[in-house]
Amino acid sequence: MDNIVLLVVLPLLAAFLMPVVARSSEVLARTLGLSVLFISIAIILNVWNQSGQIDSQAVSIAIGGFLPPLGINFYVDQISLFFALAVPVMVLLFWPWNRSTSIREYSLMMLLTASASGLILSGDLFNIYVFYELLAIASYSLVAIQGRAAAVAASFRYLLMGSVGSVMMLLGIAIIYTQTGTLNLAHLSLLAPEKLNNILGLGSFALILTGMGVKAELFPVNSWVPEVYGSVSSNLAALMAGLLSKLAVIVIVRLLILLFPQPEALQLMAVLGIMGVITGELVAWRAKDFVRMLSFSSIGQLGLVFLAFSIPGEMGMMAGIAIVLHHMVVKPALFMLATGWRGSLENLSGVARRSPFAVLLFIVLILSLLGIPPLPGFWAKYLLMVGLSSQDGSIYTLGMFIVPVAMIIEIAYLFRLVMIMYRKEGDEAAVNNPDIKVAPQSHSKWGLAIAASVAAMLIAIVLQLQPASDKLVSLASQLSDRNQYISTVFPQIHTVRMQSIK
Amino acid sequence: MNSTSEFVTSEFVTGNVSLADVLPQMILMPLIAFVSGLLMILMYRKIAARLQRRVGPPFFQPVYDIVKLYGKKTQISHGLIHDIGIVVAVGGYVAAVILLPIPGMDGIADKGGIITLSYVLMVPSLGLALGVGQCANPNGSIGISRALTAMLAYDIPFIIVVFGVATHYQSTSLVGMINYQQTHQWGIFEMPLLAAAGLFTLQGMMGKHPFEIYVAPAEIATGPMVEMSGKYMGGLFVMQSFQFYVASVLYASLFLGGGSNWFEFLLKIFFVVEIPIFISFLFPRYRTEDMVRIMWKWPVMIALIGIAFVM
Amino acid sequence: MTVLDDLLLFTALASVAIIALRRFASISKFSVVVYALATVLLIKMSALGYGGEPVYSSFTVNVLGQILQWRFDALSWFFALITLVSALLAAFFMSGAWGEKYCKEHSKEAYGLLQVALILNVLSMLVLLASGDLLSLFIGWELVSWASFMMMALNPDKLARKAAIKYIVYAMAGAMAFLMAIAMTYNMTGSLDYVQVMQGMAHLSNSQIALLVSLYVMGFGIKMGVIPFHLWQAAAYAETPGAGAVFMGAISARMGLYALLVVIVQIIGLTRVAAIEIPYTFLDMQNVLAWVGALTTIIPTYIALKQNDARHLLAWHGVGQGGYMLLGVMISDSIGTAGGIMHVFNHATYQAALFMTVTAVIYRTGTSNFSKLGGLVTQMPLTFMVMVVSIIGLAGIPPMNGFVSKWLIYRALLLDGQPLLFVAAVIGTLGTILSVYKLVHNTFLGQLRLEHQEVREAPLSMLIPMLGLAIIIFATGVMPGVVLDWVAAAQIAVGIAPVEHNLGGIELVQGGLDMIWVTGIMFYGFAVGAIIFYVLGGKSKHIHQYDNYAGGHFLTSKVRYHYSNHFYAGLMHMIGGWYRNVFIKLEHALVSLVSFMSQFSENFYRSSQPVMLVAVVVVLALYFVLGSSGGAEVSAGVSLGGFNQ
Amino acid sequence: MKCDEINAWLDALLSEINEIEVTRKSERRVRVDVPASSLPALLELLKGKASYVHLSAISCVDWPDDEEFELVYHCWSYEAKSLLSAHTRIPRNSSEEFAHYVSVYDIYKPAAFFERDIYEMFGVYFESSPYMEKFILTEWNGPPPMRKDFNAEAYVNDTFSWADYHPQWLQDIEEEGGGIAIRPEDIRL
Amino acid sequence: MSKLGNIPVNAQDGKKRTNPLAGVFDELVQFCQSRSMFMLHYCTGCGAIELPPAMTSRFDMERLGIQPMVTPRQADILLVTGYVSVKTLKRVILTYEQMQSPKYVIGICSCTVNGGMYWQSYATAKVLNEYLPVDVYIAGCMPRPEAVIEGMRRLMRNIEDGKGNAWKDYFQRYDYYLGNQQHLFGNDWQTPTDIIGEARHYGLESEETYGEHTKILEQHQQPLEPYKMRIKL
């Protein structure tokens, strides 16, 4: 169980070692990263197998034997383990296989892996900040390293927003620290009802939300998204849209559950989520470019996620997790399809004749994204709607009307695209369009395979709806269970508290 | 609702009609209708002549015309549908008159009621329209398009009147309505506004001046009749006599209490048909859109006010 | 395994098989067999049509605390019968010559896809009809929408693609309204099972019911194409490939009515709907819905009148006839609902037949444009006959079946004392008569064009289903009791008193209808007419179409002596100005609004000073936070403000 | 511009052109005799510069003795309210089938109608006129009937037959009980 | 040279009726035919102006059962009211052929008899009964309404007596009429009506129906077979 720490340590080491090793043997350096990833996956699978009880009981690991609140700890429950697994798996899937890739990029990928794993596992606010910064630096550099001028510009913008975000976050953490004197999450959680249930706590939440929101594509701080996704390789875009944004979301949610019990915090998140949904979808409606369309759609989906998590109670948690997981697999798959389909939408005219399978996959994926039953996306959306309608607040009612409108807009632009793809040969629009500069390329087999497996996974979930829904319920209940977190980290406190209640 | 307590029921309604009862009526009713219709046509032409200070046709002129037309040696057909159109046009009216109760004979009036009747009355028009269509003469088609427009124009007030009457009597059975009127009071006294609107629509239904734009002899060469010769034309003459009869009997049944005996009945129907005839020779012709406009304005308005009183 | 399991499983397997076999030539025959077998399975459940107990599926899914279940009751059975028979006839229709031509014109693949689309439509409709709770209803609903979309999208023309996109956006809007309604229902009643929801509904307030009804009706109404959501349907159905249009026109939009019957009539109950008063009017919600139905009969029918393409004309009528069904159901007495439900059957028969005839005409002549047709009756007499029978049904004139259902609706409106609705219904019927005459005249009557002189009758594979439908239209017109049996059972299933009927129609104290007598008398009349015509009149000679009165003009094949352009000119002088395309403008305005908002949002993402934006937003967020805390702890707020600088 | 001014101006204009003869018959009637070669130029001038925008008619007069056709172009000015008739003479060309002249269709569009008529009736072929084909006499195959050398009586006698005169018509009628109420000689005119 | 009143109507109806009732019936029909005449006045010339007074209140034709009709299909009498130019004659012939038998032609005004004041005109047909079988001529320039009505009554008497059979002559001597028509209109003359087919259909043909002119006609004629309603799968 303790070797879970290796998930952070090994990639970190690899990241620093790789440039060094590369000087002697390039091949070794290249394999080093991969082997670390494989080892990470093996570790997690091992942990999962060993401790079957993790479904019901989370585990806290004190690093270096120092117990929290003084020491730092990793908190391992289903959701964090799942994401910890997702990190190496997805990094592996979207690994820059290209032979010409510089070793620095591999190194940065390893850094990304390490920081992402750390971020999801940390049980400590300061560590979260540190890993977040690491993650941010890794991703700025990864964007910038793409080499293209547009990528550099995008990276700079990303950097600006990210650093402002970091400052905000640091500010928030500082406020929390001044208020409570601790940064351990479990400890904070114990103190929160007294110390943070006030205006300062709320303010710190707002700051942390804005800071983390930069990564999580939260509404006001997401204007980097389209440019970055548009200028980087599809692999990286898939990784960022699919994985990194979700990690940030999960961290925010965890903080929200543990530290900020105020309803205003939820409302703030709901407002920003709604704004994200509506602006993202609206702009995507006008997008003339496939990747840009996906980026804005991604913003919209993240808005949905925030809206879902802002619903108090388990229903919201379930809806949020469902959307997160669904988007986490679907969006990367879409980005993989985008590899062949860059450029103007008009480029894709009649593409269905050349690559029918890719278009079919595309349709399945967007159907699920839109929430068409019985595909998994529907159940997520269903939970969201039920959750929204169960709340009284006007903001949720607004959300309940905004989400369908957003979906209608989304279907309009996505199926407009599908229709373009199925255009007849010799269509006058296709022939005379000045926008067409590049002919669509064929997809890499790897990208198609990923998309196909995702589609297959979606269908498999449909066939196994019952177990999948059970799993979702247990995930949600564990994530939303504050007491379990506290009692896992501080077993003794829990018992004391229980006794005192009795 | 001023007559809810006096709920119209008819002893005929629940009784089963046997074919043996109906069979003689099936022969007699069209015959009566035909003969009365011929007389009405004669009256129409006579009144026209007298209004124009002419002598007018001899008594048997309608018969002469029909016999002559059927006696034509040669006649052209534009195809089977042309023939069938005439058959349906005549046959539809034959069916319609059996649905119209007259003194002593109810036909199958209680099997249909007034809604059915008003839709059966569309069958001849449709049949004729099909027949004319096959003539491949645009004059005919224009005529039919105008005739159907005219039907749209006068059917809306007509149907409002029918609704008002049926609501008033709480029944769609013509037999029931007539019985009620004979035992109580004529519809025209209970629903004067509806009766007035009904008279207006009657004018349109008869297809005479001022609403005869669809035949417009000088402009579209009598429209639907343009390619009709011999027995085809004769069929239309027969149909016209039925048309007069049906319109007047319907009106008499709805508002004038039908007829308890033959004398009264004939007096009523000839009186009813006389009014539109007089009107028709005093007015020039309306264009199609003006006809639609006038039909949708005055009778509809009057009938709606009438309904407001009845409801 | 119940029969329902068999049916669903069989259809599902058949869809898989058809998808797999779609490139083979024998697919058309195979699919006919499939639909025939499915129909047999359905007939095995025919006890349902006569008041039998509902048949449950043994297959359930437990997901997220919901038990999804499937069952068939009389209403489902009635709709399923129409679905399967339409599918069977459509499949038969496309199995022969039409299919070959379609393969030649498009491709074998396209034909296979059409078959796939058809079976998927049937499957999804069966799933929808079998749904036993709101969630499974929604799933079926969406499946139907997407299957329909697939069918529509098969036509690669630009117009068709546009129509399909429009459809799917509308359908999504409907589905979203439905989903919202389901979510609310769940939260209000705690369940989505029909029975429990029904019990839960009793405790809801009128305003809650009003909200639910509005949402549900919007969801279902979009599918039915009721005003103001009628814009998508006609173009979408008309542009569907021939045989597909037959099926779609017959039944697809009626799924909306099914859902409406289940949810509004059965679960919520029309008495609850009627109890909702609309403020500042004399109307209640039920009246409003009835008026929606009435307007739906009028407006699309008169739009149909202006069409110049047979397929579009028919499709617009499909929309209009949906209004009758809604109107009938909303009268809420046993006769009216019987009329509404029966009209589904009747409409399916004649609409399918009409689309088949038009498709046959297109098959032979290559066009359905009125200005390019005419005089085909001599070349395609049987097709003409089918069309005449069907248009008589569509126009609601005795003795065809359309009359019976419309009669029931009129009768119910009379009994209910609804003069304006009654007039509206009649205006719709009259408009129908006008436009069906335009249809039959401009395709089959009038002058035959030179290029159509060698046109032949539709091939047998297309004729057989057409003639079959014509027989059904007539037979159920003469003996409406056959259908009324099923309708009555369906009425019981949705909790309405069944209509009292006999084989010939309705017996009512205040004036009934006996179609056997009426038809008998009509045919007696025709016989008399025929005697007068054929026996008393002399011999006639059949002449050439150029031997025609033209004011002394000599007609030749060079002269087009035919009236099809601007058909109801006089009427259009009067009402032409009333066609203002209000709804189209409304739609455009909505799109423009979205476009405007989209541009507005785009500005945000284009902002060149993102950091400033972030700062502004943080300040705003803090302001929100402080504001929501009621202005307490001002000092803290000030200090935070200081930090921010 | 007033009528007088136009007239004065027109007179000045015409006086400058050679070979033409202008006769002002009244304030609103001008006759211009012009050689065939300069007629189109004159018309061009009239239309373009002198407001004679309306060609009311073209008439043709057959002068068999002179072996000439006289063509008269009637032009109307709405501003001057005056009618100008341009007379020209073209050779009759009796030996050939047609006389020839140029069309003024490109100046006055209505000329097509008149030229077609003259072609049919007089056999004057107008070069570059758009419709030089049969017009009113669709059944006519003979020579142009309005030429003075066309003998209509001979043609009619040649083509048609006549009903017999029935001298006893009055007796027949009187036998049947009819008759003439007022005899022709009693009619006072 | 044609002679009115001398029209050789060779054959009566093909079959002789033996049933005495049938004879009564025929007489009834003839009587009705004479009492109900729908006229189509082809207003070719000045004579047309005499018809309105004949129809309206002063003289009232309707008391004789005569009323105007607007299409040849419905009409029994063709009134040719004045000179007939060659071009008009074509239309007159077409109109006549489109009328349904029994049908009658009345030539009003002297122009129809012998060209009248247009006797010299190269464009006017002179003797109408060379091209159509004329039942009655009403001479005069123009005849008064009384004369018109008298002419109508003459026609009525003829019909009643079974003498108004000029229409049969058109079928039976079609070749003669066609020859005259071709003389004026040229050899490619034809109408869309199929007179020969009609004569065959109703048994009205005779030997003189056919001849050299009909042969010319058959060479030029567009086929006039009607489109048969038929089921060709």
Answer whether C touches A (≥3 Cβ pairs < 8 Å). yes
Cα–Cα distances in Å, from C132 out to A280, A309, C58?
Answer: 37, 31, 12
- CB spacing of E32 vs B233 below 8 angstroms: no
Burial code of C25-59, b = ≥16 C-beta within 10 A, e = fewer?
eebbebbbebbbbbbebbeebeebbeeeebbbbee
Nearest to A122 by CA among A83, A85, A88, A74: A74
- CB spacing of C64 vs A412 below 8 angstroms: no
- Straight-line distance from the first to the last Cα atom of chain A, in angstroms, rounded to the nearest whole number: 33
Chains that touch E (3 or more CB pairs under 8 A): B, C, D
- CB spacing of D163 vs E4 below 8 angstroms: yes
Query: Looking at the 3D structure of chain E, how many domains does it have?
Result: 2
Q: Are E88 and E63 members of one domain? A: yes
- Position C271 scores a pLDDT of 83
Residue D147 within a domain: yes
Greater confidence (B192 vs A435) lies with B192
Tell me how far apart the alpha carbons of residues B131 and C215 are, in angstroms, rounded to a whole number: 49
Query: Looking at the 3D structure of chain B, how many domains does it have?
Result: 1
Q: Which residues of A touch C168 (CB under 8 A)?
A: 411, 415
User: Hey, is D85 helix, strand or coil?
Assistant: strand
Quick: pLDDT tens for D126-177. Answer: 888 888 888 888 878 778 888 888 888 888 888 888 877 777 878 887 887 7
Residue E14 within a domain: no
- Position C639 scores a pLDDT of 38
Q: Which residues of C touch E226 (CB under 8 A)?
A: 542-545
Q: Residue E190 sits in which domain range? A: 173-223
pLDDT exceeds 50 at position E14 = no
Q: Are E56 and E160 members of one domain? A: yes
- CB spacing of C61 vs A465 below 8 angstroms: yes
C589 φ, ψ to 5°? -60, -40
The confidence band for C205, taking pLDDT boundaries of 50, 70 and 90, is: confident
Q: Considering chain B, what is the average pLDDT of its residues?
A: 84
Residue E183 within a domain: yes
At residue C379's C-alpha, the angle toward residues B91 and C314, to 5°, is 70
- Position B12 scores a pLDDT of 41
Q: Considering chain C, what is the average pLDDT of its residues?
A: 85
CA distance A403 to chain C (A): 9
Greater confidence (C472 vs E7) lies with C472
Of C180, C624, C643, the CB nearest to A268: C624
Q: Which residues of E touch B80 (CB under 8 A)?
A: 229
The stretch C190-209 carries a mean pLDDT of 86
C45 within 8 A of C54, measured Cβ to Cβ:
no
Quick: pLDDT tens for C166-184. Answer: 888 898 899 999 999 988 8
Window 300-319 of A, Cβ < 8 Å to C: 318
Q: Residue D71 sits in which domain range? A: 3-162
Neighbours of A1 (CB within 10 A): 12
Q: What percent of chain D has pLDDT above 70?
A: 97
C535 φ, ψ to 5°? -85, -45
- CB spacing of C568 vs B81 below 8 angstroms: no
Q: Which residues of B touch E100 (CB under 8 A)?
A: 72-76, 229-230
Quick: pLDDT tens for B9-30. Answer: 444 444 466 777 788 888 888 8
Tell me how far apart the alpha carbons of residues E63 and B46 are, in angstroms, rounded to a whole number: 10
Burial class from Cβ neighbours inside 10 Å (0-12, 13-18, 19+) for residue D141 reads exposed
The domain spanning residue D152 has which CATH number? Answer: 3.30.460.80
pLDDT exceeds 60 at position C630 = no
Half-sphere exposure of E230 (CA within 13 A, CB side): 9
Q: Are E68 and E156 members of one domain? A: yes
Q: Residue B66 sits in which domain range? A: 15-310
The confidence band for E219, taking pLDDT boundaries of 50, 70 and 90, is: confident
Give kind and range of the element (H or E) at residue A294.
helix A290-309
Q: Is B3 on the interface with C (CB under 8 A)?
A: no
Instruction: Report which DSSP code applies to C497.
Output: P
Q: Are E151 and E183 members of one domain? A: no
Query: Looking at the 3D structure of chain D, how many domains does it have?
Result: 1
The stretch C83-101 carries a mean pLDDT of 88
Residue B7 within a domain: no
- Straight-line distance from the first to the last Cα atom of chain E, in angstroms, rounded to the nearest whole number: 56
Residue D167 within a domain: no
Q: Are E103 and E184 members of one domain? A: no
- Position A168 scores a pLDDT of 85
Greater confidence (C300 vs C611) lies with C300
D22 within 8 A of D83, measured Cβ to Cβ:
no
The domain spanning residue E35 has which CATH number? Answer: 3.40.50.12280
Residue B9 within a domain: no
Residue B2 within a domain: no
Nearest CA in chain E to C459: E233
C456 within 8 A of C363, measured Cβ to Cβ:
no
Residue B6 within a domain: no
Q: Which residues of C touch A407 (CB under 8 A)?
A: 172, 176
Cα–Cα distances in Å, from E90 out to C552, E85, E96, E121?
Answer: 8, 9, 10, 17
Give the range among A55-64, A491-500, D101-110, E38-47 with minimum mean pLDDT: A491-500
Q: Is E226 on the interface with C (CB under 8 A)?
A: yes
Nearest CA in chain B to C438: B145
Greater confidence (B77 vs B12) lies with B77
Q: Which residues of D touch E (CB under 8 A)?
A: 136-142, 145, 150, 152-153, 155-156, 159-164, 169, 178
- Position D72 scores a pLDDT of 92
pLDDT exceeds 70 at position A496 = no
Q: Where are the alpha helices (DSSP H) in E84-211?
A: 86-98, 110-114, 145-160, 166-172, 174-185, 195-201
Tell me how far apart the alpha carbons of residues C309 and C442 are, in angstroms, rounded to a whole number: 10
Q: Are E79 and E160 members of one domain? A: yes
Quick: pLDDT tens for A2-39. Answer: 778 888 888 888 888 888 888 888 788 878 888 888 88
CA distance B51 to chain C (A): 31
Quick: pLDDT tens for D17-61. Answer: 777 788 888 878 888 888 888 888 888 888 877 788 899 999 999
Amino acid at E171: F
D103 within 8 A of D90, measured Cβ to Cβ:
no
Nearest to A361 by CA among A446, A455, A443: A455
C261 within 8 A of C76, measured Cβ to Cβ:
no
Residue B202 within a domain: yes
Q: Write the secondary structure of A12-79 as one string of H (helix), E (strand) and C (coil).
A: HHHHHHHHHHHHHCHHHHHHHHHHHHHHHHHHHHHHHHHCHHHHCCCEEEEHHHCCCCCCCEEEECHH
Give kind and range of the element (H or E) at residue A457.
helix A445-463
- Position A441 scores a pLDDT of 61
**Global pTM value:** 0.87
Q: Which residue has the tokens 């300069």?
A: D38
Quick: pLDDT tens for A144-158. Answer: 887 778 788 888 888
Q: Are E49 and E124 members of one domain? A: yes
Tell me how far apart the alpha carbons of residues C431 and C419 are, in angstroms, rounded to a whole number: 18
Tell me how far apart the alpha carbons of residues C28 and C32 are, in angstroms, rounded to a whole number: 6
B83 within 8 A of B131, measured Cβ to Cβ:
yes
Residue E138 within a domain: yes
Burial class from Cβ neighbours inside 10 Å (0-12, 13-18, 19+) for residue C449 reads middle
- Position E17 scores a pLDDT of 58
Quick: pLDDT tens for E182-198. Answer: 888 888 888 888 888 88
Give the range among A96-110, A309-323, D63-77, E9-23 with minimum mean pLDDT: E9-23
Tell me how far apart the alpha carbons of residues D84 and A121 are, in angstroms, rounded to a whole number: 108
Q: Are E117 and E150 members of one domain? A: yes
Mention every residue, 6+ apart, whose C-beta is less than 8 A from residue C299. C227, C230, C320
pLDDT exceeds 70 at position C356 = yes
- Position C471 scores a pLDDT of 92
The confidence band for E8, taking pLDDT boundaries of 50, 70 and 90, is: very low
- Position A55 scores a pLDDT of 63
- Position D73 scores a pLDDT of 92
Mention every residue, 6+ apart, whose C-beta is less than 8 A from residue B112. B99, B120, C513, C514, C517, C518
Residue D130 within a domain: yes
Token representation of residue A341: 């389909």
The stretch D177-183 carries a mean pLDDT of 75
